[in-house]
Chain A
Amino acid sequence: MDCRLCSDELTAYLDGELSAADATRIRQHVEACPPCQDELQALRGAADFVESHVQAVEPVPEIWNNLRARIAAMPAPADRSGFFQFLVVNRWAAMLATLASTAVLALGLWGYLAHQAAQQALESYMNDYILERSVAERLYAVQIRQWRNLTSVAGVNWVPVSENPFVDQRPVSLANPFVSEER
């Protein structure tokens, strides 16, 4: 054991706070080391000086008299009862109650946030669908105009089925499809 390690343990050694094995090691080192002996003696001397000359202050009667008056104005500990007192006295019950209420609040908040997220996702999907369909509508409208402008397509009479842009407006042949036209 070196002096630095020994020095750090001297106060605990003086106070009897070391294990028997550690105390023996310290004692053996100190017996063989004059500087550590001086250090131990100095610490012991200072501790003895304080213990010898510290004068205890005695409690004056007024402390108890005033305290007694305050206690008389308080409800007796046994008179305090009820659910909340149960929580105050029973620390575990209070902790469980706090955890339970926190869990309920957290669950409610999570549900609300999840619902909000779902609403936003649905709204976004609908917006995208509407946008996509409006683009498709415009494309079909362009095609319809183009087909309407076709006047020289042989054997084909353009028959508008309806103005509905979602219905296929391509030209339909009126020839009998079951009779071959090649004679």
Chain B
Amino acid sequence: MDKRSLDPDGNTVDAASLTQWIGRAKEGDVGAFQRLYDLFARKVLNFIYRMVASAEEAEDLTQETFATVYQKLATLKDDARFEPWLFRIARNYVYQRYRRRTPPMVSVDDQDEEGRTTAELVDERKGPLEAFESEELERVVQRVISDLQEKYREVFILSAIHRLSYQEIAEIVGRSLPSVKTDIHRARLQVRQRVKDYLKV
């Protein structure tokens, strides 16, 4: 996923347009708010999905996130910080949902149509990477990410998948830059090990 803000047609959106839409959305312009939604919904949905490992919950939390954004947009002082602010709201909803769940979180999406889990599929194959189908590899990726502890999972998703800067990630998760840098490195080390374990490569 690209770091730049893209509109639904895949065109880069400049900062001036973004600021204009935010300004109009603050005044209650639903059309401008929909432009913001179109720009960021995919990113937010995927961030939440990778965190909670459930498409249905991710859709629900995405809706909650944008509803809160609409209500609280007037409190955003610096429009340039919109994206980290948006992700902070999404992250808060994810952690609220974690607190209501009893661990461990088992993904209902971690099975194929025949009910086999990712681990079972991988054990069956034990061959070169090319032998795996695309959906199986996607499930391996999701499993690898889900295996991470929450604080490593969120920084991994934001850095490796959403390609946000370390500074933006520190702002989103509310930790210091050095702490975030260390956590990202540890997350990557764990991902490297898990990919090796699951694929036996």
Indicate, yes or no, whether A interacts with B.
yes
B63 at the A interface (CB under 8 A)? yes
Per the CB 8 Å criterion, the residue count for chain A at the interface is 39
Q: Which residues of A contact B49 (CB under 8 A)?
A: 57
* Partner-binding segment picked from B10-18, B66-74, B88-96, B120-128: B66-74
**Contacting pair A77 B30 (CB below 8 A):** no
Q: Which single residue of chain B is at the shortest CB-CB distance from A72?
A: B30
Q: Which residues of B contact A78 (CB under 8 A)?
A: 26-28
**Contacting pair B41 A63 (CB below 8 A):** yes
**Contacting pair B188 A56 (CB below 8 A):** no
| Prevailing SS type, chain A contact patch | helix
CA distance A102 to B195 in the complex (A): 56
**Assuming A11-B188, A63-B63, A71-B33, is B58 touching A57 (CB within 8 A)?**
yes
Bitwise, B21-59 to A at CB < 8 A (1) or not (0) is: 000001110100110010001100110010000010011
CA distance A138 to B156 in the complex (A): 89
Q: Which single residue of chain A is at the shortest CB-CB distance from B163?
A: A15
Q: Which residues of B contact A70 (CB under 8 A)?
A: 63, 67
Within the complex, which residue of A43, A71, A76 is in contact with B67, where a contact is CB–CB below 8 Å?
A71
Closest 7 CB pairs of A and B: A76-B28, A46-B192, A11-B185, A53-B137, A59-B41, A55-B138, A11-B188
- Report which A residues bind B (CB closer than 8 A): 8, 10-12, 15, 17, 42-43, 45-47, 49-51, 53-60, 62-64, 66-68, 70-71, 74, 76-80, 88-89, 91
- Report which B residues bind A (CB closer than 8 A): 1, 26-28, 30, 33-34, 37, 41-42, 45-46, 49, 55, 58-59, 62-63, 66-67, 70-71, 73-75, 77, 134, 137-138, 140-141, 144-145, 159-161, 165-166, 181-182, 184-185, 188-189, 191-192, 195-196
